[in-house]
Amino acid sequence: MKIKLLFILIFISFNLFAQKKIGKDIGIWSIQNGKLLSNQQYDNKLGEHYWTFIRELLPTPLMDQYVKRFRIYTDGKEGDLGGMTLINDSNQDWQLEVDIADLQLEETNQEKIVDYQHTLIHEFGHLLTLNITQIAPTDDEYQDDSKGYLTSEGYARKNSYLDVFVAQFWPDELLFQWDKIDQIRNQRKKENRLFDFYLNAPRSFVTDYAAESPEEDIAESWTYFVMDEIKGGNTIKEQKVAFFYRYPELIQYREEIRKKLRYIPSAYLKSFKIK
């Protein structure tokens, strides 16, 4: 039952070119230099309201450089909470989307505020680790080991955040095990095997969702870096959170985001429970 619940609650996606459209459209807007362009098909006031809130929370330089489209949608409460998806194969144009049933700006429940802050920081984590400066687009379908770690967006560039993260935390043996699971085409079976993969090493992953892939692992670890105070520890998951302290620019981003958070939970990593 737990397994089923877990994967019903999976919330985050970065599907290549937004192939799988999630939920029902509420509005889609082009973004130009950080500004939302009116679209007469949709409720512009609502779009502006959400976009302003998100743009104020997340570091502006990266958001303004890469986010070219903003979508609000809903699939009801929970389910998918948001996504950061490529619009084309340039790795330069991204769409941010959020489910407004899960991101209610008038929300007063602290747990729900923490959840949506988590989603937004996580999605920003994808932009941070998968943009063109980090990932080199490729036509390769299968990984050529001499070129590094292959994501759906391309190869992790040498010394990119993901390259260093994978080298440190995903030894070949682990990558090999994960890759075998990732190739399972039966979705349900794959999800069950991924959950077992997490249960095999719960002290290595900040959440069960982090075990989904190295890309999700770094985005989830980044989220705990921003929302928690962990600077090290004996477990691999603590080391993954502390990983980001080696980058001054990320410490800066962390501070900027934290100033704007509505609510910062205490001992966030410790309080994680499988839903």
- 20 dihedral zone (left: phi>0; alpha: psi -120 to 50; beta): beta
Contact positions with Zn ion (CB under 5 A) in 43-72: none
| Rounded CA separation 117/96 (Å) | 14
Of 36 and 117, the one with the shorter C-beta distance to Zn ion is 117
Give me the least distance between CB of 153 and Zn ion, in Å please. 13
Q: Alpha-carbon distance 216 to 237, whole Å?
A: 13
User: Which of 127, 267, 129, 262 is closest to 206 using CA atoms?
Assistant: 267
Complex with Zn ion: residue 122 or 254, whichever CB lies closer? 122
- Does the footprint of Zn ion cover residue 96 (CB under 5 A)? no
Q: Rounded to the nearest whole angstrom, what is the least distance from the CB of residue 212 to Zn ion in the complex? A: 8
Phi-psi region of 250 (alpha: psi -120 to 50; beta: other; left: phi over 0): alpha
Q: Is 162 in the site for Zn ion (CB under 5 A)?
A: no
CB of 216 to Zn ion, least distance (A): 5
**12 in contact with Zn ion (CB under 5 A):** yes
- For Zn ion, the binding residues in 212-231 under the rule CB under 5 A are 216, 219
Please say which residue, 80 or 216, places its beta carbon nearer to Zn ion.
216
Instruction: Report yes or no: 120 and 58 within 8 Å, Cβ to Cβ.
Output: yes
Residue 100, classed as helix, strand or coil, is coil
The residue (of 36 and 81) whose beta carbon lies closer to Zn ion is 81
Q: Which is nearer to Zn ion, 12 or 57 (CB)?
A: 12
Cα 165 off chain centre by: 15
Question: Minimum CB separation from Zn ion for residue 208, in Å?
Answer: 13
Q: Which residues bind Zn ion (CB under 5 A)?
A: 12, 216, 219
